[in-house]
Structure 1
Amino acid sequence: MLRERPQAAAAARSLLAGALPNGAGHGDRVERRAGGFADVPPGGDVHLLSRVLHGGEDGRCREILRHLSAAMPPHADLPAVERLLPDDGSPSLATARDLHVRCTVGGRERTAGYYPRLFADAGPELVGREPLPLDARVRPERRARRTR
């Protein structure tokens, strides 16, 4: 299932159906629903966040993560794709993107070391980190398995 804002869900319908250049032709395999993070349906094996967290301040990010974590079964994964600011101040595309999101939407890019704190009280736990092109990283998170 693809859950996205209404305009993005409509664009995904065309792309997945193969109607756009480089379309995937998999429209019949994906259920599309318009919606937000506050109404994530329960279940699902994977909940992908791609360039979502940099668009918000910490409180909003934690709210999003709590909604997702509450909807995720124990085996579910939450890959989060974000650009990471370098810890050492070295040149990076993430630095320019940081300035852009701060000025336009009030969010920010973060360092790799910052994300565990962001996720700490929201539920998911970090299980790895994989590099992607253009200074992005996928951060596989998994719903925390809490013992009582």
Structure 2
Amino acid sequence: MRRPAAFWLDDLLAELRFDVAVLPGDQITVRQDRRAFTAIGAVSGQALVEFPKPTINLIEALGLVGGLAPQSGYPSSVFVLREEPPERLQQLAGSAFTGLQQAIYAFDLTQPSGLFFGGRFNIGDGDILYAAEALYTQFQKALSAITGVATPVTGISNAI
């Protein structure tokens, strides 16, 4: 008896190892690609975003949600949260792990190296993209809660 296998159509077309013979009694199920990531925090559009193509990187993912929020986004604190299999973490950290582990990847997009790495870092199905708010945004919120002023304190944000 043959065992079940799953793979992407793009992989089937690109790699010979996925080109398997279909025998009588085999069942083929074709499903729509429903991979998605969630963008939260100081992004222009918080949303659950379906992948528009087979792979997307961090920079493309930010583009899909409109980038960082102009008044509150903090480009030196962009994070990707995901569950990683133990083999992957062992590759990265060199320590032994068992079971899925929660991992956080941090990016500083104010540095060229952060932008280049973000362009090579692929977003996975179920990832959470989190952009932190700038420190002055937190100060503005606290100040408006105390004083009742809802308008931005531009002198402070410009000074920072």
- Confirm or deny a common fold (TM above 0.5): no
* TM-score normalized with structure 1 length: 0.25
User: Greater RCO between the two (CA within 8 Å, min separation 6)?
Assistant: 2
Determine which structure has more spread, i.e. the larger CA radius of gyration. Answer: 2
